[in-house]
Structure 1
């Protein structure tokens, strides 16, 4: 079995230089770095991760906790985190906190016991216990997708990264209003989540910008699940004056809303126009094709890794919150004709005729 000394001899460098290349602990000239990597490949050298962690007090592993809701967006986040981690020589320990405060706290405890170098977590709607635990143990952490306000005394020193929510949601409402709709319903997500609050705020901003009143009866909580979103859509459609247009706050709930519309024999956009917050690979396959807000899931995941590595390098630096832009993808479920909507192309909303 090849050793680090064997790699050093083959590359013509010191053992210390090999260590710096493999552990990324000091800059090495590109030519020297490549010689070491070539020697590693030729000799089939495998670093002793356990021994390295004992010396460096680092395991080069990241704990990743995100709910397995069936939402393709969370899969995109995982892909981004995994790619970013592998690029920097880190492995992932993945767990599902089930959007449950008690379970997410237990997940954090287990990951901490596994001595991960840091964690990337999509927090639940009530993450106070989680944040106190992370602060008490000084665990380097990046909160993903859902912005939180730190509880008093939590020792909060965590970074956060998410997509823009408020402005993009407002743009969907604005677009529907420009199509002539005056009663626009919202199927919102799980209460307590930062994303839910921000998208409701965006909905209200869109109404205000269009000169439309806010009517709380037109907002139904869909719980970020297809089944509860279906029930929420039925409640909206049962109103004495039901909405002529609907906006869903994530694409898992879009499925439930479409089920409700189909159960009532309603067509999109002929009977009800529909716009969705969150794109997915089969949105183009619907008839009509879905007008959506697309979030940069993979980029958000990769950015979370970079923020965590920066935190590991500078543990005492101030917390950062990073928001990446979302894109309006103009298709036809909003009621625009095919020749006005470019397939899958991010763009700005366009004014349409009254419907």
Structure 2
């Protein structure tokens, strides 16, 4: 097995110069650096990362704590984190906190004990213990997807405006009883998506009806129960917005159990597009989040924090895209239109209908109550 001495001899430099190239502890002339890297490649030399960490006080590793196993959305974020970290020469240690505050603190502590240079965390609904642990030990950290105030580096997709757009789209099709299956209470994503739901109703002059807002707890089973509750209410919704991909699956199960067809009996739109959403019949009208870019941005924020520990914290919000298919009850358009671009009139209002006026009910299909 080749050693640093072998590399130095092949490159015609000192062992100290090889060390500076590997550890980036001192500037090295480009031609000398190239000679060292060529020698490493020729000899198949594998640096001792443990020894390097003793020199640099860094392990070039990042800890990632997200519920990747229980939430498919985080799987895509994980891919963005991993590819960006590897591109920068960092390894990744992954732990699943299961959205449980106690387990969250435990897995972050274990990552810290393995001397990661910093952590990226999708925090739980009760992150106080985690925040205290990170602050007490001065661990560089970035939060993703869920926000925890403005005192930390964090990155997430837009939440309120995309849900508002889904509601306005449904209202523009004549629905005035629009339900929302919301996520786990306490999460910033849940709070912001509920705010978007209410803003969409207000924009169309529709009243907020507490009975049309049901908690799905961010999981399929919870959403299934929530939809059954909505359907059993005295004035059930004629359209439903689901606030994440797992809850969309639960909602579809509940509608199938109830013998209802989408969109003939009830329109359904969802926050979170996913890889098989266009395979369903009908295809699901959805908000697509920039999942991989969220992960990649989290890595960039963390590495910048490691290089500039004194800089002010930053919150980055990334735009989503409206993916128009047919579960909303209308003809699909070209998918993937960014939400920050002007939308065609049918998505905001029907022709000739003032945007600031409540919509009248539209006639129902045979055997159905009118949309009201």
Please, what TM-score do these two structures have when normalized by structure 1?
0.92
SS of equivalent residue, structure 2 residue 270: strand
- Which residue does 1:44 correspond to in 2? 44
Q: Which moved more, 1:25-34 or 1:89-98?
A: 25-34
Higher Cα Rg, which structure:
2
Q: Tell me the CA shift for residue 27 of structure 1.
A: 6.1
**How many equivalent pairs are there?**
346
Q: Tell me the CA shift for residue 32 of structure 1.
A: 5.4
- Which residue does 2:331 correspond to in 1? 337
CA distance in 2, matches of 1:32, 1:199: 55
1:267 aligns with 2:258: no
**Residue 190 to residue 9, structure 1, CA distance change in 2 (3 Å):** same
SS of equivalent residue, structure 2 residue 102: helix
- Which residue does 2:172 correspond to in 1? 178
**2:296 aligned residue (296, 302, 305):** 302
Q: Would the aligned equivalents of 1:189 and 1:222 in 2 still touch at CA under 8 Å?
A: yes
Q: Would the aligned equivalents of 2:69 and 2:96 in 1 still touch at CA under 8 Å?
A: no
**Residue 173 to residue 43, structure 1, CA distance change in 2 (3 Å):** same
- Which residue does 1:153 correspond to in 2? none
Q: Tell me the CA shift for residue 71 of structure 1.
A: 2.6
Q: Tell me the CA shift for residue 337 of structure 1.
A: 1.8
- Which residue does 1:140 correspond to in 2? 140
- Which residue does 1:81 correspond to in 2? 81
CA distance in 2, matches of 1:82, 1:17: 30
- Which residue does 1:276 correspond to in 2? 270
Q: What is the RMSD of the two structures over their aligned residues, measured on CA atoms? A: 1.9
SS of equivalent residue, structure 2 residue 278: helix
1:214 aligns with 2:234: no
Stretches of structure 1 that go unaligned for 5 or more consecutive residues are: 151-155
**Residue 60 to residue 230, structure 1, CA distance change in 2 (3 Å):** same
Q: Would the aligned equivalents of 1:70 and 1:252 in 2 still touch at CA under 8 Å?
A: no
SS of equivalent residue, structure 2 residue 93: strand
1:206-257 CA distance string (max 9 Å, x none): 1111111111111100001100100001111111111110000000000000
SS of equivalent residue, structure 1 residue 62: strand
Q: Would the aligned equivalents of 1:166 and 1:198 in 2 still touch at CA under 8 Å?
A: yes
Q: Tell me the CA shift for residue 25 of structure 1.
A: 4.7
CA distance in 1, matches of 2:303, 2:44: 28
Q: Tell me the CA shift for residue 54 of structure 1.
A: 1.1
CA distance in 2, matches of 1:29, 1:76: 40
Q: Would the aligned equivalents of 1:330 and 1:347 in 2 still touch at CA under 8 Å?
A: no
1:166 aligns with 2:134: no
1:121-180 CA distance string (max 9 Å, x none): 000000001000100000000011101127xxxxx5x31011111111111111111111
Q: Would the aligned equivalents of 2:61 and 2:90 in 1 still touch at CA under 8 Å?
A: yes
- Which residue does 2:357 correspond to in 1? none
CA distance in 2, matches of 1:27, 1:278: 46
Q: Tell me the CA shift for residue 110 of structure 1.
A: 1.1
CA distance in 1, matches of 2:149, 2:197: 21
Please, what TM-score do these two structures have when normalized by structure 2?
0.88
Q: Tell me the CA shift for residue 9 of structure 1.
A: 3.9
CA distance in 1, matches of 2:187, 2:158: 14
SS of equivalent residue, structure 2 residue 265: coil
Q: Would the aligned equivalents of 2:288 and 2:336 in 1 still touch at CA under 8 Å?
A: no
Q: Tell me the CA shift for residue 70 of structure 1.
A: 3.4
Q: Tell me the CA shift for residue 112 of structure 1.
A: 1.2
1:346 aligns with 2:346: no
SS of equivalent residue, structure 2 residue 235: coil
SS of equivalent residue, structure 2 residue 180: strand
1:252 aligns with 2:246: yes
CA distance in 2, matches of 1:327, 1:138: 36
